[in-house]
Amino acid sequence: MDFLDPFFLEALVNGILLGGVFALPALGLNLVFGVVDVVWLCYAELVMVGMYTVWFLHTQAGWPLALAFAACLPVIALLGMLLHLLVVRPLLTSPPINQVLATGGVLFVLQGAATLVFSTEFRSLGVDMPPMEVGEVFVSGTKLAAFCAALLGAAVLWAFLKFTYVGTAIRAIARDREVMPLMGVDPRRIYLIASAVGGALAGLAACLLVVQLDVHPFVGLSFGPITFMICVMGGLGNMLGGFLAAFLMGLIISVGGFWGSTEFSYVVAFAFFILVMFIRPKGLFAR
Amino acid sequence: MSGIARDVALLALGVLLLGAVPLLSPPDYAMHVFITMALTALAGTGWAMMGRFGLVSFGHGAFLGAAAYAMALLWNEAGLTPWLGIPIGVAVAVAIGMLLAYPAFRLRVVGHYFALVTLAAGEIVRILIVALRDHTGGSLGMTPVQAPPGQQFLAMQFDKTGFWWIALIAWAGGLLAWRLLDRSMSSKALAAISEDEDAAASIGIRVTREKMKVTVISVALAGLAGALTAQYRQYLNPESLAGLGISLQIVFGAIAGGMYAPFGPTIGAIITIGLDEALRIGFGTEFTGGAPLVYGLLLVLFMLFLPRGIAGLFERRARRAAAKPAAERATA
């Protein structure tokens, strides 16, 4: 096996780029779980709605692409807040399984609504960038741009959590949800803000995905399950762990696809996830 | 008469009465809906066997699919009759379930984590079915080979009346399994485990063994439901017999009906299948999104307002009725 084989290198590069795409929804999901302690089973469907938002504003309403991208973030952030207010907040004291099933219901609602409004047709944004050649390796321009945007988004999130007052409160409440209310932090407000930020991250992920994938109502199912597994592998609520796990999963899928078929690579990725759960149930990077 | 003998007699009576339904010569469509309800109820009953003890599986679709595809492949490629193929298919599903559950229970994968492990396992089975498209037909699905004339019985290819009887007997078997489990010490042990695993272990309950027992029963019932559904429809498809969609649907039915009462999942199946059909007729094919929309909305509303399902309504009333005489006695 020649490790300098350009096709193998290409698979490696693509794996890292794919990891960047997985990283954003994994971050958002982890943020919401870490802070609110509820798993949004419908997270990939929020991304789907975001993809439709961009597609609609750009191709139907004729907005410039940058403006459509900019509008997508607040729209999905709002959707995240609505989800929190209408479904999650009333269930905060319910058993976790009820919370998960309720967000599972939202998954069906969003898929059904998207089918009603946009039909099951595959919609394409029709934007593409020329591939770049680095040495002997071809890199898709769109994927590279999406990768950079994902890293940028992660950096902005990190700065927000690290350097702002609200960010500090969010991190504090994730650490100890009993004590923080005594320190004058209103957990209801923090939960709502975290849901909005989680939604905005889904919106950003939607912007990056819509240039690479065609949109249809069930597109969420193609990356939703893997996003959950990435979060759990990194340790639910552990954002850095999830971020690293995203790249690991991207590499497994890409390199697995290089040696076998795409389906085979997903089987390997899921089997790897189950194995990780058995060996390190609290996640690969649990402290 | 002892409790279990009375239950068996009641169930047998129920099956006989329901089994007589075809005598009223109902339309084929009604029979189709009834059969689908009975088989869905069986799958939901199987799921709730685990679900009610806090073992929430998001991968039960995989067991439906494993049993169904094993049975159909044995028939198509080896000519083995489904009468043997179904037990073998169920055994395959149980083997997969044990392979997954044993390490999960031993290594104490619980709660969210258990649900996600089963979700991953369900996806693996779905992808494998698609990937083995040379045999399974991939996402296009597969049809069992039609039996030569005179061999319908061997091929288990009956008309609606025959399948209604088979489905009824299987459904009653599921309820009986529920009842037997309830009467055994295992159900007490499992209730204790779902409250607090460490405490249960400390009083000498074999946590892994008890969980394995209920998993085997649950998976076997799901596998049976899957194989019978495939055999009834004479069509297998990875989306309708494996994967996240069907798994969530099973969970929804059991939850909506109420997973803590033996008849809960059956009520749930009647509601979900009834709803599916009503929406399909009401919305037609133009508004294909209408069904999941209403479905999801109901799931959310159930979680918000009726987390113990429809059976939970009766439960509360029964408990109040039982509590009243006791209170009167106390005051007298």
pLDDT at B38: 95
In chain A, % of residues over pLDDT 90: 30
Residues in chain A: 287
Residues on chain A touching B120 (C-beta within 8 angstroms): 225, 229, 270, 273-274
Tell me whether residues A105 and B299 touch, CB distance under 8 A. Answer: yes
pLDDT at B332: 45
Domain that holds residue B50: 3-331
Assigned token pair, A35: 């802070």
Gap between the Cα atoms of A36 and A33, Å rounded: 5
Average pLDDT over residues A56-81: 93
Gap between the Cα atoms of B48 and B51, Å rounded: 4
Interface test with B, best of A109, A233, A252, A253 (most B CBs within 10 A): A109
Lowest mean pLDDT among A2-6, A74-78, B194-198: A2-6
Tell me whether residues B107 and A112 touch, CB distance under 8 A. Answer: no
Total domains in chain B come to: 1
Which residues, numbered 127 to 166 in chain B, qualify as contacts with chain A under a Cβ-Cβ cut-off of 8 Å?
Answer: 127-128, 130-131
Of A285, A284, A248, whose CA–CA distance to A269 is shortest? A248
In chain A, % of residues over pLDDT 70: 95
Long-range contacts made by residues A146-149, C-beta under 8 angstroms, separation at least 24? A146/A17, A146/A20, A146/A21, A146/A208, A146/A209, A146/A211, A146/A212, A147/A16, A147/A17, A147/A20, A147/A21, A149/A204, A149/A207, A149/A208
Of B162, B1, B144, B148, whose CA–CA distance to B68 is shortest? B144
The domain spanning residue B108 has which CATH number? 1.10.3470
Assigned token pair, B313: 């309504």
| Residue in A with minimal Cα distance to B100 | A274
ipTM for the complex shown: 0.83
| Residue in A with minimal Cα distance to B287 | A116
The yes-or-no verdict on residue A35 having pLDDT over 50 is yes
CA distance A270 to chain B (A): 6
Tell me whether residues B299 and A104 touch, CB distance under 8 A. Answer: yes
| Residue in A with minimal Cα distance to B247 | A104
Residues on chain B touching A101 (C-beta within 8 angstroms): 251-252, 255, 299, 303
CA distance B285 to chain A (A): 11
The yes-or-no verdict on residue A131 having pLDDT over 90 is no
Gap between the Cα atoms of B241 and B153, Å rounded: 24
**One-letter amino acid of B273:** I
CA distance B208 to chain A (A): 14
Tell me whether residues B291 and A112 touch, CB distance under 8 A. Answer: yes
Q: What is the DSSP string of B186-211?
A: HHHHHHHHHH-HHHHHHTT--HHHHH
Tell me whether residues B292 and A108 touch, CB distance under 8 A. Answer: yes
Of B193, B2, A242, whose CA–CA distance to A276 is shortest? A242
Q: What is the band of A3 on the pLDDT scale with cuts at 50, 70, 90?
A: low
Among candidates B294, B296, B304 on the partner chain, residue whose Cβ is nearest the Cβ of A91: B304
Give yes or no for B294 touching A (CB within 8 A).
yes
Lowest mean pLDDT among A117-126, A252-261, B1-10, B170-179: B1-10
**Between these two residues, B93 and A183, which has the higher pLDDT value?**
B93
Per-residue pLDDT of chain B (332 residues; tens, 9 = 90+): 567 888 888 888 988 889 888 888 889 899 999 999 999 999 999 999 999 998 989 899 999 999 999 999 999 998 889 999 999 999 999 999 999 999 999 888 887 788 888 988 888 899 899 988 888 888 888 988 888 877 878 888 888 888 999 999 999 999 999 999 988 888 899 999 988 888 999 998 999 999 999 999 999 999 999 999 999 999 998 888 887 778 888 888 898 888 888 999 999 999 888 888 888 887 766 666 777 788 889 889 988 888 888 888 877 666 666 555 544 544 44
Among candidates A95, A102, A270 on the partner chain, residue whose Cβ is nearest the Cβ of B123: A270
Residues on chain A touching B104 (C-beta within 8 angstroms): 277-278
The domains located in chain A, with CATH, are: 8-117+139-279 (1.10.3470)
Most confident of A74-78, A226-230, A275-279, B149-153: A74-78
Tell me whether residues A267 and B119 touch, CB distance under 8 A. Answer: no
Which residues, numbered 43 to 82 in chain B, qualify as contacts with chain A under a Cβ-Cβ cut-off of 8 Å?
Answer: 54, 56
Give yes or no for A91 touching B (CB within 8 A).
yes
**What count of CB pairs under 8 Å joins A to B?**
137
Gap between the Cα atoms of A45 and B294, Å rounded: 16
The secondary structure of A261-276, three-state, reads CHHHHHHHHHHHHHHH
Residues on chain B touching A217 (C-beta within 8 angstroms): 289
pLDDT at A73: 95
Give yes or no for B287 touching A (CB within 8 A).
yes
Q: Which residues are CB-contacts of A271 (< 8 A; sequence separation ≥ 6)?
A: B124
pLDDT at B317: 65
pLDDT at B225: 96
Arithmetic mean of pLDDT over chain A: 86
Q: Which residues are CB-contacts of A106 (< 8 A; sequence separation ≥ 6)?
A: A41, A42, A45, A83, A87, B296, B300
Residues on chain A touching B295 (C-beta within 8 angstroms): 105, 108, 112
Residue B165: strand, helix, or coil: helix
Tell me whether residues B290 and A271 touch, CB distance under 8 A. Answer: no
